[in-house]
Amino acid sequence: MVTKNSVRTATRRWSPLFLGPVVAAFIIGFVWPFLQGIYLSFCNFKTTSNAEFIGLGNYAEAFADASFQHSFWYTAATAVVSLVLINVLAFLIAYMLTQSIKGSNIFRTVFFMPNLIGGIVLGYIWSMIFDGILAAYNTSILLNTTYGFWGLIILMCWQQIGYMMIIYIAGLQAVPEDMLEAAKIDGAGKWQTLIKVVIPNVMPAITICMFLSLTNGFKLFDPNLALTGGLPFIIQPDGSTINTTEMMALNIYNTFYTAGAASRGVAQAKAVLFFILVAGLGLSQLAYTRKREVQQ
Amino acid sequence: MSKNLSRRTFLGAAGAGMMAVGLAACSSGGGSGSASGSSAASGGAGDGKVYWLNFKPELDEAAQSLAAKYTEETGVPVKVVTAASGTYQQTLIAEMDKSEAPTLFIIGNAAGVKEWGDYAMDLKGTAIEAELTTDAYNLYDAAGKLVSMGYCYECYGIVANPDLIEKAGHKMDEIKDFESLKAVAEDIHARAGELGFDAFVATDMDDSSSWRVTGHLANLEYYYEEQDSGAFDENTSEITGKYLPNYKNIYDLMINNSLVEPTALATGGHDPSTQFTKGEAAFFLTGSWDYAALSEAQPNVQMIPYYCGVEGEDKAGLNCGTENCWAVNANAPEADQQATIDFMVWLVSNADASAALVEQLGILPYKNAAPSTNGFLNNAADYSDKGCYVMDWATNYQPNVDQYRAALVSALNAYNSDQSDANWDAVKTAFVDGWATQWAAANK
């Protein structure tokens, strides 16, 4: 006879078999490299298997690095501006496409499609587009930090608006009809309905979209590499450089691969700081926005 | 040849991974295929094996087939993996960490010696050292250990198309120094519309081409400094930039007498090599590795020195050197080291094998290797025969080479868009002060 107890015992007995592969893969592919990465940030190393522990020196150097500080502020600016633009535009497009417009399905597909193209490819395509235009004015996106900044913002919007739009559309379609109808009967205008009824109801979608675009903004790497690669640089009097359009991920990559073996530990320390920053920001933002969601 | 780590070549990185996997699969397939042969023939071969991490993509095909041939002849398994263009450093870091690390790899310059010297065995007194014809292309560490040895060398300079120069009413013999080069180039540029070709191809500043000026052309400055203050080595912590005006001479000549406006060089994409082979311009900065491709389309191509306006430069020759230096893994088992050295000796002394390598590499500085077929390297030899000085590759000592050159690219981009003194001062800062800063960073 099958009792509740025997099912539970069987589950307990066999669960390692089913969980095992996933847990093992997770440990091998994520937990172990992550822990080793943290360890290496306290080391001086050429290859990862041959590391020498040196304590906090790498962190001190990372904090003192002017190019890393610059990349932090540049990344923060990019993330904030793109967060606002992407979400406002994505919400507007989603709102338009949930009104009954002819061919709204085609529009949804078209807006979503840029998201399917990889960041490197997008970077090169957009660098050609921008330079095609800027060449007429005898300049290039590689020569001007402002162009580099807005170029990247345009690229990010183009890539991510479609994706966020899909999430917003799902949220908008889930707003209960009866609430909208009640608002209408009570004499609410379009604007009031949007602010007082629709937005509180799509707050879960807003939460997830803000979370995604903020972390996307901070973690951005490949479009940054392909579009400007950090150019133009400010050549400082001592000959060192500040790469004016370099975001944090690219700064870490360049420190690891181009600044010589002596800097690999520093790059690792920067990567750990970067993780703490992104994780912290993402979680606190999630917690803050969660509070504002309404329960349906 | 410069292998910049770059955003352009990053594209190749994904491909590199896949290629490495593919090659590994190929070679392990080959390995298992020959395993039966190897057990049959292993009597004299010992049980060493060879893993060659190759750094020249253009050599890959030849290397793979030579490896297969060697395995067939001797039963020693040889695995060849080629890093995709511009990704050698990443591939080496990853491969060196594995239990089956490369036994034969590349340490091509002073930075490489600093970084990987500990991983290289001393090649002094080995059978492969006995095969060398010259010590000129070998790399030693501070303690005098023979870390790596050149297996080929290359030369670079200004490639000229004599047919076009004659068409413009000039002769190759006219060009003897900077003044004469300038006269010819400016004349051609002034009459470009009428002639149907221009003086210089585009000096693109994207990563596929910027090394021509940030690496190779810069060598003239370093070389003449060396003549004043002694040869550069890995302890050269700073430079004076005394000959930077000479660098500027030739740089200005190039960008201002070109098919492409200087302001359009930053993003690149003009494919200078094709411009040259199509006969659109008469001068092109490149090296001996391009000989086969260029001479196919323009059979009379010649290479001339970097004439830049220094005194006595009518005696200048080409820039000869190499970044292609073999190192043997010090941490590999002794049997593998021996097998690797045997394989190296076979590569440079077997008639067929060395001929196949010469076809790809131009020349092998080994006693029993096949003779060179490369016109540019023959030009280099001609200059030497005439008593001209060879300009060695002081460029190889650029500290933290990727960052150093990236800063130069940025400064030169700004200068290209506006050729002002202030912008040239930034180039100078990146060139001279950048050297000291990067040296300090690399040697902390």
Q: Calculate mean pLDDT across residues A49-62.
A: 90
Which 8-state DSSP code applies to residue A291?
A: T
* Domain final position from A58, A81, A103: A58
Read off φ and ψ for residue A99, nearest 5 degrees.
Answer: -70, 160
Is residue B25's pLDDT more than 70? no
Contacts of A236 in chain B (CB under 8 A): 429
- pLDDT for res B58: 83
Is residue A225's pLDDT more than 80? yes
Closest Cβ–Cβ partner in B89, B426, B434 for A257: B89
Read off φ and ψ for residue B319, nearest 5 degrees.
Answer: -85, 110
Q: Calculate mean pLDDT across residues B424-439.
A: 95
Task: Compare all CA atoms of chain B with the CA of A45 and give the residue at the minimum distance.
Answer: B115
Query: Considering the domain boundaries, does residue A189 fall inside one?
Result: yes
* Distance from the A243 Cα atom to the nearest Cα atom in chain B, whole angstroms: 9
Neighbours of A38 (CB within 10 A): 14
Give the number of A-B residue pairs with CB atoms closer than 8 Å: 117
The answer to whether the Cβ–Cβ distance between A225 and B10 falls below 8 Å is yes
- pLDDT for res A108: 86
The answer to whether the Cβ–Cβ distance between A143 and B414 falls below 8 Å is yes
Q: Calculate mean pLDDT across residues B20-48.
A: 40
- pLDDT for res A284: 87
Contacts of A240 in chain B (CB under 8 A): 407, 434, 437
Query: Considering the domain boundaries, does residue A86 fall inside one?
Result: yes
- Residue A144's SS3 state is coil
The share of chain B scoring above pLDDT 70, in percent, equals 90
- pLDDT for res A2: 60
ipTM: 0.83
Which band of pLDDT confidence, cut at 50, 70 and 90, is reported for residue B223?
very high
The share of chain A scoring above pLDDT 70, in percent, equals 97
Cα gap A59→A36, rounded to integer Å: 16
Rounded to whole angstroms, what are the CA distances from B78 to A286, B35, B40, B47, B63? 54, 11, 16, 12, 10
Task: Compare all CA atoms of chain B with the CA of A255 and give the residue at the minimum distance.
Answer: B403
Which band of pLDDT confidence, cut at 50, 70 and 90, is reported for residue B387?
confident
- pLDDT for res A94: 93
For residues A46 and A146, state if they share a domain: no
- pLDDT for res A1: 56
- B359 Cβ contact partners less than 8 Å away, ≥ 6 residues apart: B62, B373
Q: Calculate mean pLDDT across residues A58-82.
A: 95
Read off φ and ψ for residue A221, nearest 5 degrees.
Answer: -135, -60
Query: Considering the domain boundaries, does residue A295 fall inside one?
Result: no
Kindly report the CATH number assigned to the domain that includes residue A102: 1.10.3720.10
Q: How many domains does chain A have?
A: 2
* Mean of the per-residue pLDDT values of chain B: 87
Q: Within an 8 Å CB–CB cutoff, is residue B440 touching chain A?
A: no
Is residue A258's pLDDT more than 90? no
The tens digit of pLDDT for each residue in B364-373 reads: 889 888 888 8
Query: Considering the domain boundaries, does residue A84 fall inside one?
Result: yes
- pLDDT for res B32: 33
Closest Cβ–Cβ partner in A226, A239, A260 for B7: A226
Rounded to whole angstroms, what are the CA distances from B369 to B137, B353, B363? 16, 9, 8
Suggest the residue from B2, B6, B7, B415 to mutate for an interface test with chain A (most A CBs closer than 10 A). Answer: B7
* In contact, B150 and B137? CB cutoff 8 Å: yes
The answer to whether the Cβ–Cβ distance between A135 and B441 falls below 8 Å is no
Which band of pLDDT confidence, cut at 50, 70 and 90, is reported for residue B222?
very high
- pLDDT for res B12: 43
Closest Cβ–Cβ partner in A48, A140, A260 for B111: A260
For residues A77 and A147, state if they share a domain: yes
Which band of pLDDT confidence, cut at 50, 70 and 90, is reported for residue B269?
confident
The answer to whether the Cβ–Cβ distance between B409 and A229 falls below 8 Å is no
For residues A88 and A232, state if they share a domain: yes
Task: Pick the most confident of A235-239, B1-5, B8-12, B248-252.
Answer: B248-252
Q: Calculate mean pLDDT across residues B216-228.
A: 95
* In contact, B426 and B416? CB cutoff 8 Å: no
Is residue B44's pLDDT more than 50? no
Upstream peptide bond of A237 is cis (omega within 30 degrees of 0): no
Q: Within an 8 Å CB–CB cutoff, is residue B432 touching chain A?
A: yes
The answer to whether the Cβ–Cβ distance between A142 and B97 falls below 8 Å is no
* Distance from the A83 Cα atom to the nearest Cα atom in chain B, whole angstroms: 25
Which 8-state DSSP code applies to residue B203?
A: -
Neighbours of B119 (CB within 10 A): 22
Q: Within an 8 Å CB–CB cutoff, is residue B97 touching chain A?
A: yes
Suggest the residue from B53, B109, B410 to mutate for an interface test with chain A (most A CBs closer than 10 A). Answer: B410
Task: Compare all CA atoms of chain A with the CA of B101 and give the residue at the minimum distance.
Answer: A47
Closest Cβ–Cβ partner in B7, B96, B115 for A225: B7
Task: Compare all CA atoms of chain B with the CA of A242 and give the residue at the minimum distance.
Answer: B407
Cα gap B239→B355, rounded to integer Å: 41
Residues of the domain holding A36: 4-58
* Domain final position from A58, A76, A102: A58
Contacts of A135 in chain B (CB under 8 A): 263-264
The answer to whether the Cβ–Cβ distance between A131 and B267 falls below 8 Å is yes
For residues A26 and A155, state if they share a domain: no
Taking every pair of C-alpha atoms in chain A, what is the biggest distance, in angstroms? 84
The answer to whether the Cβ–Cβ distance between A233 and B406 falls below 8 Å is yes
First to last CA, chain A: 43
CA A46 to chain centroid: 30
The tens digit of pLDDT for each residue in B83-142 reads: 987 788 889 988 998 889 999 999 988 888 888 999 999 999 999 999 988 888 899 988
Contacts of B255 in chain A (CB under 8 A): none
For residues A11 and A156, state if they share a domain: no
- pLDDT for res A295: 57
Instruction: Give the start-end residues of each E strand in chain A.
Output: 43-45, 51-53, 233-235, 241-243
Cα gap A212→A255, rounded to integer Å: 27
* Rg value, chain B, Cα: 22
The answer to whether the Cβ–Cβ distance between A241 and B406 falls below 8 Å is yes
Q: Within an 8 Å CB–CB cutoff, is residue A262 touching chain B?
A: yes
- In chain B, the domains with their CATH numbers are 7-153+322-367 (3.40.190.10), 155-321+380-442 (3.40.190.10)
The answer to whether the Cβ–Cβ distance between B403 and A262 falls below 8 Å is no
For residues A123 and A180, state if they share a domain: yes
Query: Considering the domain boundaries, does residue A296 fall inside one?
Result: no
The answer to whether the Cβ–Cβ distance between A120 and B10 falls below 8 Å is yes
The answer to whether the Cβ–Cβ distance between A240 and B437 falls below 8 Å is yes
Element (H, E) at B440: helix B434-442
The tens digit of pLDDT for each residue in B78-89 reads: 999 999 877 888
* In contact, B52 and B44? CB cutoff 8 Å: no
Q: Calculate mean pLDDT across residues A73-101.
A: 93
Q: Within an 8 Å CB–CB cutoff, is residue A225 touching chain B?
A: yes
Task: Compare all CA atoms of chain A with the CA of B440 and give the residue at the minimum distance.
Answer: A262
The tens digit of pLDDT for each residue in A209-222 reads: 998 999 899 999 99
Q: Within an 8 Å CB–CB cutoff, is residue A285 touching chain B?
A: no
- pLDDT for res B30: 35
For residues A120 and A25, state if they share a domain: no
The answer to whether the Cβ–Cβ distance between B436 and A239 falls below 8 Å is yes
Read off φ and ψ for residue B328, nearest 5 degrees.
Answer: -110, 135
Task: Order the strands of the B104-106 sheet from edge to edge.
Answer: B78-82, B50-54, B104-106, B325-328, B146-150, B139-140
- pLDDT for res A288: 81
- pLDDT for res B177: 94
For residues A247 and A131, state if they share a domain: yes
Q: Calculate mean pLDDT across residues A97-116.
A: 86
Q: Calculate mean pLDDT across residues B233-250.
A: 93
Say if strands B154-160 and B302-304 run parallel, antiparallel, or are unpaired.
Answer: antiparallel
Is residue B23's pLDDT more than 50? no
Is residue B9's pLDDT more than 60? no
Is residue B4's pLDDT more than 60? no
Is residue B36's pLDDT more than 50? no
* In contact, A223 and A230? CB cutoff 8 Å: no
For residues A167 and A260, state if they share a domain: yes
Which band of pLDDT confidence, cut at 50, 70 and 90, is reported for residue B46?
low
Cα gap B150→B373, rounded to integer Å: 18
Burial of B347 (0-12, 13-18, 19+ CB in 10 A): buried
Q: Calculate mean pLDDT across residues B290-310.
A: 93
For residues A42 and A89, state if they share a domain: no
The tens digit of pLDDT for each residue in B171-202 reads: 999 999 999 999 999 999 999 999 999 999 99
Closest Cβ–Cβ partner in A138, A235, A262 for B442: A262
User: Which residues on adjacent β-strands are paired with residue A266?
Assistant: none
User: Which residues on adjacent β-strands are paired with residue B52?
Assistant: B80, B104
Task: Compare all CA atoms of chain B with the CA of A142 and give the residue at the minimum distance.
Answer: B266
The tens digit of pLDDT for each residue in A184-212 reads: 999 988 899 999 999 999 988 998 899 89
* Distance from the A4 Cα atom to the nearest Cα atom in chain B, whole angstroms: 50
Cα gap B415→B427, rounded to integer Å: 8
- Residue B321's SS3 state is strand
Nearest to residue B2, comparing CAs of B408, B295, B415?
A: B408
Contacts of B426 in chain A (CB under 8 A): 235
Task: Compare all CA atoms of chain B with the CA of A65 and give the residue at the minimum distance.
Answer: B441
Contacts of B244 in chain A (CB under 8 A): none
Q: Two tokens at B411?
A: 């400064």
Q: Two tokens at A51?
A: 């590391």
Angle at alpha carbon of residue B95, lines to B92 and B97, rounded to 5°: 110
For residues A45 and A113, state if they share a domain: no
* Mean of the per-residue pLDDT values of chain A: 90
- B312 Cβ contact partners less than 8 Å away, ≥ 6 residues apart: none
The answer to whether the Cβ–Cβ distance between A46 and B115 falls below 8 Å is yes
- A204 Cβ contact partners less than 8 Å away, ≥ 6 residues apart: A171, A293
For residues A31 and A95, state if they share a domain: no
Closest Cβ–Cβ partner in B115, B413, B430 for A261: B115
The answer to whether the Cβ–Cβ distance between B411 and A48 falls below 8 Å is no
- Residue B350's SS3 state is coil
Written as one string, the DSSP assignment of A206-273 is HHHHHHHHHHHHHH--HHHHHHTTTPSEEE-TTS-EEETT--HHHHHHHHHHHS-GGGHHHHHHHHHH
Q: Within an 8 Å CB–CB cutoff, is residue B5 touching chain A?
A: yes
Q: Calculate mean pLDDT across residues B282-289.
A: 93
Task: Compare all CA atoms of chain A with the CA of B13 and give the residue at the minimum distance.
Answer: A120
User: Which residues on adjacent β-strands are paired with residue B366?
Assistant: B132
